[in-house]
Chain A
Amino acid sequence: MDINFSVENSNQRTPCILVLDASGSMQTACEGGTRIGQLNAGLEALKHELMSDATARTRVQLAIVVVGGPSSGAELLMNWTEAMEFQPIPIRADGATPLGEGLMVALDSIEQLKTVLRQHGVSYTRPWMMVITDGEATDPDSLWSQAVQLCRDAEYSKKVQIWPIAVDGANIGKLQEISTTPVKSLTGLRFPELFLWLTGTLSTLSRTRPGDSVQLPSTDPWSSVKV
């Protein structure tokens, strides 16, 4: 009888939800196409990178919330999916930027996943939420304030790690409201590089205790962060 090394799951998940701006401004032409085109290319790069990383492939779970798009709303475009089964869905840009609504959808979805993982006896690392926008939230002020408060509460209570990322043209000041992590400006629309960095970072997250710092695998300005 041989030893069975195949594990149905690794008993651990690293959830990461992407809140992506697909508003009309993402149709803006840029070098190599449009912003939305670059974003879609970045998602393809993310898929390939995840598949090539043995640890990330079995541990990372992805979900995508799209803000704007043809519906001009905020919707869970892709529910939580194992990295090994991740298939990017081409995103179309159109409409407004109800970012606050999208953040609330994402936070809600994270809590749902945690519940399901606990029910299945699967442990998980602190979920990550990457928020990528090139504009400014168009939600009503009251809804935006509510979303900001929910994000801050979730971050303060260490329920989620939020990464705000601004594409050219974004209102950085307003985006900064959702997190204490400094907004990273994505210059040059290097979405593929961004997602490669994401994969590497998710993969190298190891055991830490609350409040510990982890050295991220890049020379990014916020490479040392609280996790």
Chain B
Amino acid sequence: MTWFVSSAVAQGISHKATNLPCQDSVAHKTIATLNSSVAVISDGAGSVPRSQEGSRTLVEVMCAILGAYLETEKNITKDSITSIVKIGINQVRAKLKESGDLSEFHATALVLIQLPKKIFTFHIGDGSLNIGSYDKKNNITITRSEPENGEFSNETFFFTEDAWEQHMRICEVENPCFYLLCSDGIDPFIWSGSSGTRFDFIIPLITKLITYKNEQKGDIFLHEVITDPRTDSVTSDDKSLIVGIDEKILYGKLDVKKAYDQKPPKQVNTKDVNQSIQQSLQQIVNDKKKESIKSKSVIVEASLPKRNIKLIAFMISTIFFLILVIFTLLFVKNPILDEVKSKFFKSPKKSEIVLPNKENEKLPAEEAIAVPGKDSEIPNARLEVKKEAEVKIEQPKSKPPKKDEKIILPPKPNFSDALKNSNSKEKNEDTD
């Protein structure tokens, strides 16, 4: 019973273009007598100049410490191995501090300890650890320690940070049969955020490694894979990969083709993520347009009551104004209004006789003042009107304009006066 482990590391095209060294480091150690292995990957941060020193120191020190521990300790528990991993990382940090500030050596940490019946993983930062394990029915499930990023994918966590223990994630998997560790440059080929494990990548990869049954040949093959030009269209970053395979896989007792994800992604499984993203974005735009139309409708509806209030206020003020006008017409004494009133509201007790021009003045005496008993049939009635009437005199248009004059006729004319007036109309013309 033994495990077959191969690895490869390669400089990314962006590092070549900018003369940056390969900042990924890998190391593994197989202890055949104990059917155990240790595999470590570290990815140095591209943003700091000495990160390759940090990553290299980590994989070397951790491999040495954990290898020695496996060889000496027979009763390994989760607590004991966790303590050793923490001691190892602290040793690496102490060693790096001797040559500079820790922030100059930022790097991730992916540590895997494979025991005959169990695997422990310790993970700080991005990249991933993917472990196949089998059940009693020989079904294989894949457990994954996922990358940890900040909000943005170019932000991650490093063992060189003060809070490194808070970001160390520990995983324990029973009955392992293969594992793949990789830095973030290779992870897109192993895992899809929308469809899960990329079986069309890992199954041919493992199948090919099985045919070699030789770690050195496996190393060469893996290097060919991660330096394939087709990877450059996906990533420009450094790339590193370690693959460990158990005998059960190597000799066909387990079929890797039957593997499936323990935790498939929650997202909708769509073959074309780009198309799905575009559809979602378009949907948002459409929804916004609908919202905009709705909100405009709401604004119009909301403005309607305001309009009604204004309309009602206008109507009330108009009615009030009209009432005021009517009141003024009826009750306020004004020469002009009186004239209007005289036209529309003639009173038998108080009326006006308007003599606007000479035509009026030339009225025959009989029409102006009836003579009782001789020319008029109802002389008394006419006479009473005459008594209290106001006579308004309008000057002829040819004359300079004058204000209307009121002539109050004598209150008590007698019949003789009336007769005089009727007989001397020529005189009346002059006096008027």
Contacts and interface: CB of A to CB of B under 8 A. Distances in A.
Contact of A116 (B126, B156, B200, B284): B284
Given A54-B233, A55-B236, A209-B45, A7 B189 contact: yes
B154 A126 contact: yes
Contacts of A217: 18
Contact of B45 (A80, A121, A212): A212
Nearest to B283: A116
B265 A121 contact: yes
Nearest to A5: B230
Given A120-B193, A209-B106, A10 B18 contact: no
Contacts of B285: 76, 79
A74 to B, nearest CB: 14
A205 interface: yes
Given A8-B274, A209-B158, A203 B14 contact: yes
Given A8-B273, A79-B281, A120-B267, A208 B18 contact: no
A1 B281 CA distance: 36
B276 interface: yes
B355 to A, nearest CB: 70
Interface stretch (B203-211, B243-251, B293-301): B203-211
Interface residues of A, number: 50
B201 A4 contact: yes
A3 B277 contact: no
Contact of B194 (A2, A116, A121): A121
Interface string B268-279: 000111101110
Interface stretch (B80-88, B145-153, B369-377, B408-416): B145-153
Contacts of B17: 204
B152 A124 contact: yes
A32 B236 CA distance: 37
Given A116-B284, A209-B157, A217-B18, A8 B194 contact: yes
Interface in B215-242: 225, 228, 230-237
B154 A3 contact: no
B152 A123 contact: yes
A12 interface: yes
Contacts of A76: 285
Given A3-B204, A116-B284, A126 B192 contact: no
B271 A8 contact: yes
Given A3-B201, A123-B153, A208 B46 contact: yes
Interface residues of B, number: 64
Contact of A204 (B18, B149, B207, B272): B18
Contacts of A116: 277, 280-281, 284
Nearest to B184: A207
Contact of B267 (A8, A80, A119, A206): A119
Interface in B112-166: 126, 149-158, 161
A112 interface: yes
A125 B154 contact: yes
B277 A120 contact: yes
Contact of B193 (A81, A121, A212): A121
B107 to A, nearest CB: 10
A57 interface: yes
B153 A55 contact: no
A58 B230 CA distance: 12
Contacts of B204: 1-4
Contacts of B187: 11
A8 B272 contact: yes
B201 A82 contact: no
Contacts of A126: 151-152, 154-155
Nearest to B267: A121
B47 interface: yes
A136 to B, nearest CB: 28
B190 to A, nearest CB: 10
A214 interface: yes
A71 to B, nearest CB: 14
A112 B154 CA distance: 20
A142 interface: no
Given A1-B203, A207-B43, A213-B47, A113 B281 contact: yes
A207 B273 contact: no
A12 B152 CA distance: 9
B198 interface: yes
Interface string B34-72: 000000000101111000000000000000000000000
20 contacts: A3-B204, A7-B189, A7-B192, A9-B193, A10-B235, A12-B153, A54-B13, A85-B274, A113-B281, A116-B280, A120-B273, A121-B192, A123-B149, A124-B153, A204-B14, A208-B47, A209-B106, A210-B150, A210-B155, A212-B48
10 nearest A-B residue pairs (beta carbon): A121-B193, A123-B153, A5-B230, A212-B47, A206-B46, A4-B200, A208-B47, A55-B236, A116-B280, A9-B273
Given A81-B278, A207-B46, 11 more contacts: A1-B204, A5-B201, A10-B188, A10-B235, A11-B187, A55-B233, A57-B233, A112-B281, A120-B267, A124-B153, A204-B17
